[in-house]
Structures are given as structure tokens and as C-alpha cells.
């Protein structure tokens, strides 16, 4: 291997040792999509056996690390210089890794996790976020993608999406219960939380808590499915204008707008410099069109953001 390597992608379908990378002292980025030789017996885990990631922890310039985790093996390792971490796994192995590894310089975390049961999504996600709030308090970037699992073609092994009819949305819980631990991460600047087809209830209080807790936020994207009368009001966007002066891009799921929504709004003293505003859909009361009122509000609060919605109804 060349001693000049700075980026390595490791891909293997069989167990693989990473000792060969120890000589690559200039490595800054490592991506591992392979089975690692994790310890398998419970007693061995207690005795802190050689861990599959140990060779990576000794790299003096490693700044970006991407891992696919398959087993919940504690990683009592220190990655002194890793600032960017990308993890793909089911919930438990990922939570064990983040709880046991020392990452003193970690600033950016990207998580991809398959999930099926809506009833278990809220507690599992909240537990994961509590680990982040307790152990990784200096995060400035957080990106979560939670998606329905794929199945594998038994012949070719190619991942394919499930093809049966999409069921009616099932409420996974209240958004406030999931995001509450994240409200302690006050240095967050770029956040995307994508729950795809999973359905959550959220309201104006959730919007207010997020805005007040993340004063330095610059981009925020929230993607989830909603149910009627369990959505935040469009007027709650004013909380971002009041508390998040650096916000430049804002993407939110469906919201609602009622006749008197703007009657008691306390408008900010000056327009907000937001450049990109996108709400998936704004739902009006039956047989009512509040498009003009919605546009008047958004142009007054966010005059540089253009059209605020993808769809209104």
C-alpha cells in the first residue's frame, strides 16, 4: 500500500481485519463497509478483547470515519481527532458504540438506521438521542435518516423495497418525546431529521422548544408524516424568526392554518434573513382558502425566502 494514502474505502462481505491500515499514518478519511472480527462470547466482552476497530484508533490524523456496524460490541477506544462520524446500523449496535467510544473532537454525526415497528420508534430514537446529549455535547451537525427496511433478493442478493400495499399511517408518538434530549445540544448548526413514512404528532410548542434551544442553527430539515389536527400551526414559524438569527434554510413537514392564527402573533421587529423556506403542505379549514394570509405572513417575517410551501389545501 502506498504510504501517501489519505482516503480509504474498505468493502468486504467477509470478516476483515484492519491491521493493514496501521502503517498508513497519513490517513484522514476511512470508510468501512465490511464485517469486522468482533468478539463473540459474553465473557470476552467483559475482558475487553482486541476490538475490530482498534487499528483505526491509532491513526494520528484520522478526521472522518464511516462505519457499518453489525453487532453491539462496546468499543472502549479513543479516536482523538475524528470530527466527522457516519454510522449505518440498527439502533442497538450504534447506541452501544456511541456510548462506549471516546470521540473528544466529534462535531458532525450522520446516522442511517432501518426500522419497522412504529410503536418502538419513539423510545428507541429518544434513547439514542439521550446518549448523544450525555456523551457528545459539542456536536454542531446532526443528520438522521430512519427508513423502512429493505429485503434482499434470495437469488441475486440485490436489496429491493417491499412492494405490498402501503398501510395507513400509524402514529409513532409525539415528536416532543423524541427530540427532548436534543434540546440540550445548544451548539447545533446543521440538523436534518428524516423519519420518512413514520408518523408523529407535533405542535407549536415543539417548534418553539427547537427554536429556543438552537440559537445558532443555520439549516434545519424535518421530514415525517403527519395526521390531521396533530400538526403545528403555520404561524409557529415566527419562533424561528425570533430565536434563530443565523437560520438560512428551513424545511418542515405538513402544517395547519386556521382563520384566527395570526391574530395574536407578536411579529419580530425586523425581517429575518432566511433564504430558503419549504413547508411540505399547509392545510386550511374545509372550504376555506387562506393562501393570501399565509403569503402575507411569510413575506412579512421572511421576505427573502420566496414561496413558503410545496402545496396548500
Residue 153 lies in a domain: yes
| pLDDT of 154 higher than 60 | no
CATH of the domain at 135: 3.80.10
Q: What are phi and psi of 36, to 5 degrees?
A: -100, 155
Per-residue pLDDT band for 141 (boundaries 50, 70, 90) equals very high
Residue 51 is predicted with a pLDDT of 55
Residues 6+ apart with CB under 8 A from 218: 189, 190, 246, 247, 248, 249
Per-residue pLDDT band for 180 (boundaries 50, 70, 90) equals very high
Per-residue pLDDT band for 39 (boundaries 50, 70, 90) equals very low
Q: What is the mean pLDDT of the chain?
A: 84
> Who wins on pLDDT, 4 or 233?
233
Per-residue pLDDT band for 155 (boundaries 50, 70, 90) equals very low
Quick check: 278 and 308 in contact, CB under 8 A? yes
Residue 9 is predicted with a pLDDT of 78
> Who wins on pLDDT, 153 or 246?
246
- CA–CA separation, 216 vs 90, rounded Å? 30
Domain that holds residue 204: 7-226
Residue 58 lies in a domain: yes
Residues 6+ apart with CB under 8 A from 219: 189, 190, 191, 192, 247, 248, 249, 250
| pLDDT of 41 higher than 50 | no
Residue 203 lies in a domain: yes
Residue 156 is predicted with a pLDDT of 42
| pLDDT of 200 higher than 90 | yes
Residue 298 lies in a domain: no
Quick check: 141 and 108 in contact, CB under 8 A? yes
Q: Which long-range contacts (CB under 8 A, 24 or more apart) does 87-95 make?
A: 87/111, 87/112, 88/33, 88/112, 88/113, 89/113, 90/114, 90/115, 91/115, 91/124, 91/125, 91/127, 91/128, 93/69, 94/69, 94/128, 95/127, 95/128, 95/131
Q: Indicate left, alpha or beta for 194 from its phi (over 0: left) and psi (-120 to 50: alpha).
A: beta
Residue 54 is predicted with a pLDDT of 83
User: Which pTM does this prediction carry?
Assistant: 0.85
Q: Is 26 exposed, middle or buried (0-12, 13-18, 19+ CB in 10 A)?
A: middle
Query: What value does the mean pLDDT take over residues 72-77?
Result: 74
| pLDDT of 50 higher than 60 | no
> Who wins on pLDDT, 310 or 253?
253
CA distances from 48 to 12, 30, 75, 196 (A): 25, 24, 9, 38
| pLDDT of 150 higher than 80 | no
Quick check: 240 and 268 in contact, CB under 8 A? no
pLDDT in tens, 257-302: 999 999 989 999 899 999 999 999 999 998 899 999 999 999 999 9
The CA-based angle 207-210-211, given to 5 degrees, is 85
Strands 159-160 and 151-152: what pairing?
antiparallel
| pLDDT of 88 higher than 70 | yes
Q: Which of 34-43, 150-159, 204-213 has the highest mean pLDDT?
A: 204-213
Q: What are phi and psi of 23, to 5 degrees?
A: -85, -10
Mean pLDDT lowest among 29-38, 72-81, 135-144, 192-201: 29-38
Residue 110 is predicted with a pLDDT of 98
Of 30, 101, 28, the closest CA to residue 61 belongs to 28
Residue 66 is predicted with a pLDDT of 92
| pLDDT of 43 higher than 50 | no
Residue 264 lies in a domain: no
Q: How many domains does the chain have?
A: 1
Residue 291 lies in a domain: no
Residue 283 lies in a domain: no
Quick check: 104 and 83 in contact, CB under 8 A? no
Residue 216 lies in a domain: yes
Of 144, 6, 166, the closest CA to residue 88 belongs to 144
| pLDDT of 107 higher than 60 | yes
Q: How much of the chain exceeds pLDDT 70, in percent? A: 81
Amino acid at each position: 500500500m502506498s504510504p501517501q494514502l489519505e482516503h480509504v474505502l474498505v468493502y468486504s462481505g467477509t470478516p476483515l481485519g484492519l491491521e493493514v491500515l496501521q502503517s498508513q499514518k497519513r490517513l484522514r478519511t476511512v470508510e468501512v463497509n465490511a464485517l469486522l472480527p468482533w468478539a463473540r462470547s459474553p465473557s470476552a466482552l467483559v475482558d475487553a478483547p482486541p476490538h475490530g476497530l482498534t487499528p483505526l484508533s491509532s491513526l494520528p490524523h484520522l478526521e472522518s470515519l464511516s462505519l457499518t456496524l453489525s453487532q453491539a460490541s462496546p468499543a472502549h477506544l479513543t479516536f482523538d481527532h475524528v470530527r466527522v462520524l457516519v454510522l449505518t446500523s440498527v439502533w442497538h449496535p450504534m447506541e452501544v458504540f456511541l456510548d462506549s467510544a471516546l470521540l473528544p473532537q466529534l462535531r458532525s454525526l450522520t446516522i442511517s438506521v432501518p426500522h419497522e415497528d412504529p410503536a418502538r420508534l419513539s423510545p428507541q430514537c429518544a434513547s439514542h438521542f439521550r446518549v448523544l446529549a450525555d456523551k457528545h455535547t459539542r456536536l454542531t451537525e446532526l443528520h438522521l435518516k430512519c427508513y423502512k427496511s429493505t429485503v434482499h433478493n434470495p437469488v441475486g442478493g440485490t436489496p429491493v423495497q417491499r412492494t405490498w400495499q402501503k398501510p395507513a399511517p400509524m402514529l409513532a408518538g409525539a415528536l416532543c418525546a423524541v427530540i427532548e434530549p436534543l434540546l440540550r445540544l445548544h451548539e447545533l448548526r446543521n440538523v436534518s431529521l428524516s423519519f420518512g413514512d413514520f408518523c408523529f404528532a407535533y405542535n407549536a410548542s415543539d417548534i418553539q422548544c427547537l427554536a429556543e434551544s438552537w440559537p445558532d442553527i443555520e439549516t434545519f430539515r424535518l421530514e415525517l408524516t403527519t395526521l390531521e389536527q396533530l400538526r403545528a400551526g403555520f404561524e409557529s414559524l415566527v419562533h424561528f424568526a425570533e430565536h434563530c438569527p443565523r437560520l438560512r434554510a428551513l424545511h418542515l413537514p405538513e402544517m395547519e392554518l386556521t382563520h384566527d392564527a395570526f391574530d395574536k402573533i407578536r411579529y419580530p421587529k425586523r425581517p429575518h434573513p432566511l433564504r430558503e423556506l419549504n413547508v411540505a403542505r399547509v392545510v386550511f379549514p374545509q372550504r376555506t382558502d387562506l393562501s393570501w394570509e399565509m403569503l402575507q405572513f411569510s413575506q412579512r417575517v421572511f421576505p427573502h425566502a420566496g414561496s413558503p410551501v410545496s402545496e396548500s389545501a
